[in-house]
Structure 1
Amino acid sequence: MSARILDGVAIAGEIKQELAGKVSAAKDKGYTPGLAVVLVGDVAASQIYVRSKIKTCGELGIYSELHTPPSTVTTEELLDLVAQLNLRDEIDGILIQLPLPDHVDTSKLLEAVDPRKDVDGFHPINAGRLLSGAPKSEVLAPCTPAGIMEVLERSGIPVAGQRAVVLGRSNIVGKPIAAMLINASATVTVCHSKTKGIADYTREADILVAAIGRSGFVTADMVRPGATIIDVGINRITGEAEFEKFFSADQARREGFLKRGSTIIGDVDPAAFAISSAYTPVPGGVGALTIAMLMSNTVKAAAMRRA
């Protein structure tokens, strides 16, 4: 039996449809969920991400506004902007697009956001609530891990009692998804760059979450047959030799590679997907959920603030 593709685009569409109904209900109650996005400087990739977020707000009926201080902005000036947004009642969510310029104190800025408006789920208070096992309805969790849990739940993949292995220990993905899986009663192991014999752990996983940031790191011999693979990685391949290593038999991918000069691969070698029972593709998997979960957090924050 061939592996099932877990379609992140379709799941994101379901979530957005549900959110549109919630936004409409909120307006009937007299308020509109609002999101403020802070984009510093002119990093091309960040601009693309932010445009997508603002566009999605419009599609769902969420109020949004974009603040674009120059790359020369100081930490103090950004702290003042955040303080103003914290005080505005029509703003329910504040998103600070990362990365910030090197001279800006990122940690200080993220911690200055009102935890009730922290739709990225990065504030220590929200991280603590997640770790303590607070109810899902009361936690603003990081968007990518929250999206992973939606994929598992909506795809009918059991979590309770399963062995889950997380590759990566970042504050954005690795640590929070480990906490979420534990809260869902999985038995969780976190591996990272200092872990010895990683394959010994990954071969025992019922659910394998790869968020390590290395192209095709997880090979077929590292995966237990029948496992569910969640590939969080987004890596760009530009070299012919590397393309041949992973996609030599993929003619459709080759045509795109020749046209654009690059292609996207996750942290899992595509050959490993064949022995899984289900997997998230790259692109079209977990990445598609991130913006949907940002919208979900904004709508949730608006409701929680008015409860």
Structure 2
Amino acid sequence: MAAAAASSGMMFSSATSDGCSRGLQRVSSITVLRLGLTRSAAVFSRTRTINIQVRTSISGRSSSSSVITAATATEASGKVIDGKSVAKQIREEIATEISRMKASTGVVPGLAVILVGDRKDSATYVRNKKKACESVGIESYEVHLAEDSSEKEVLQHIKGFNDDPSVNGILVQLPLPSHMNEQNVLNAVCIDKDVDGFNPLNIGLLAMRDREPLFVPCTPKGCIELLHRYGVPIKGKRAVVIGRSNIVGMPAALLLQREDATVSLVHSRTKNPEEITRQADIVISAVGKPNMVRGSWIKPGAVVIDVGINPVEDAKSPRGYRLVGDVCFEEASKIASAITPVPGGVGPMTIAILLSNTLVAAKRAHNFK
């Protein structure tokens, strides 16, 4: 998602990582507790423990004995929204549903991924998705094409997967090589198998009241799911989405609007973005600009969802770099009531929702409830 977010963020005013170098280290220093989930309590009161209200939405059935990991809060820091733990819980729910479906119908959901070229980040994403499929019982199919492959070859593989009943979801790993028309390729995916939610009809249905898309894009849906599972009220709240990409920003704004939030989109042409963002009860940032959103942008007590995954140079890291978000964690965590870390926040949720969408596609194809 870093590449996708970056396209919408390159023209924002520049921000440096100065003053945020300890942001990720701060995550590891916060005490973590195992807490039972309850349906009570004000989730974001500034006390030292958290009672988290959870809504199970993957299988449609409640889970009263589930446990997730949550960070304690102090009066000087916001609570850390643990995307890794929530994603793990979602994967467990999916695995249970797949076992039930297989026992009843003999059907196993299938997800096909098409990768073009040799980008290391794309290859890593595909590898992680394959492992995630295996962990829940989804059959994984993969096509890896050379960088100089033709668009026609990609379209032929998509057609083959469209016609294959064992494949319930098709994912084309982005970005594609520059000689290919991304829209042509994405539009070729059958809407019944568009588990990425990028088909224009799915986006159009998402934008309309009283209409339901077959699928919602995975990253923004993951952001909303984090808010739900941490009991964050959305209805009637002011929300700001920073970045207006087709993949994250725009669908995230539409999802918040569906939840009855009052939504503002901040983008590269927005005047006074800091002032607008500071009015928000909920901030979702997806611009691909490291540490652009400073603590001064955040309203005290706001909830911050950071979609950015940005490499910055770090001589102390074995890789020569470390990953940071769009939001300066070091500053924002002192002001927000809750915030996602990078890594370990939205990233794991994206893959979990992809698996969920694939399960939904398989259930729909076989009329399984």
TM-score by length of 2: 0.76
Q: Which residue of 2 aligns with 1:47?
A: 123
CA deviation string 1:235-289 (max 9, x = no partner): 111167xxxxxxxxxxxxxxxx343321111011121121100000111101111
Which of 139, 147, 167 matches 1:71?
A: 147
What SS does structure 2 have at the residue aligned with 1:260?
A: coil
Report whether the alignment pairs 1:302 with 2:340.
no
Q: Which residue of 2 aligns with 1:244?
A: none
CA deviation string 1:128-172 (max 9, x = no partner): 121124576x63111100100110000000000000000000000
Report deviation, 1:210: 0.9
Q: Which residue of 1 aligns with 2:322?
A: 263
Task: State how far apart, in whole Å, the 2-side matches of 1:222 and 1:303 are.
Answer: 43
Q: Which residue of 2 aligns with 1:192?
A: 267
What SS does structure 1 have at the residue aligned with 2:283?
A: strand
Task: State how far apart, in whole Å, the 1-side matches of 2:317 and 2:164 are.
Answer: 49
Report deviation, 1:205: 0.3
Report whether the alignment pairs 1:141 with 2:216.
yes
Q: When the two structures are aligned, how many residues end up with a matched partner?
A: 290
Q: Which residue of 2 aligns with 1:115?
A: 191
Q: How does 1:1-307 map to 2 (within 5 A)?
A: 1=75, 2-28=77-103, 29-133=105-209, 139-238=214-313, 257-270=316-329, 271-307=331-367
Which amino acid in structure 1 is aligned with residue 326 of structure 2?
D
Which amino acid in structure 1 is aligned with residue 118 of structure 2?
D
CA deviation string 1:99-138 (max 9, x = no partner): 11111111101001001100111011111121124576x6
Segment drifting more, 269-278 vs 174-183: 269-278
Task: State how far apart, in whole Å, the 1-side matches of 2:181 and 2:162 are.
Answer: 18
Alignment RMSD, CA only?
1.3
Task: State how far apart, in whole Å, the 1-side matches of 2:359 and 2:120 are.
Answer: 28
Segment drifting more, 62-71 vs 169-178: 62-71
Which amino acid in structure 1 is aligned with residue 194 of structure 2?
D
What SS does structure 2 have at the residue aligned with 1:109?
A: helix
Which amino acid in structure 2 is aligned with residue 120 of structure 1?
D
Runs of at least 5 residues in structure 2 that lack an aligned partner in the other structure: 1-74
Segment drifting more, 142-151 vs 125-134: 125-134
CA contact (8 A) 1:39 1:47 kept: yes
What SS does structure 1 have at the residue aligned with 2:147?
A: coil
Task: State how far apart, in whole Å, the 2-side matches of 1:94 and 1:31 are.
Answer: 17
CA deviation string 1:58-87 (max 9, x = no partner): 111111111112222111121111111111
CA contact (8 A) 2:192 2:214 kept: no
Task: State how far apart, in whole Å, the 1-side matches of 2:281 and 2:347 are.
Answer: 22
What SS does structure 1 have at the residue aligned with 2:145?
A: coil
CA contact (8 A) 2:314 2:322 kept: no
The percentage of aligned residue pairs carrying the same residue is 44
Runs of at least 5 residues in structure 1 that lack an aligned partner in the other structure: 241-256
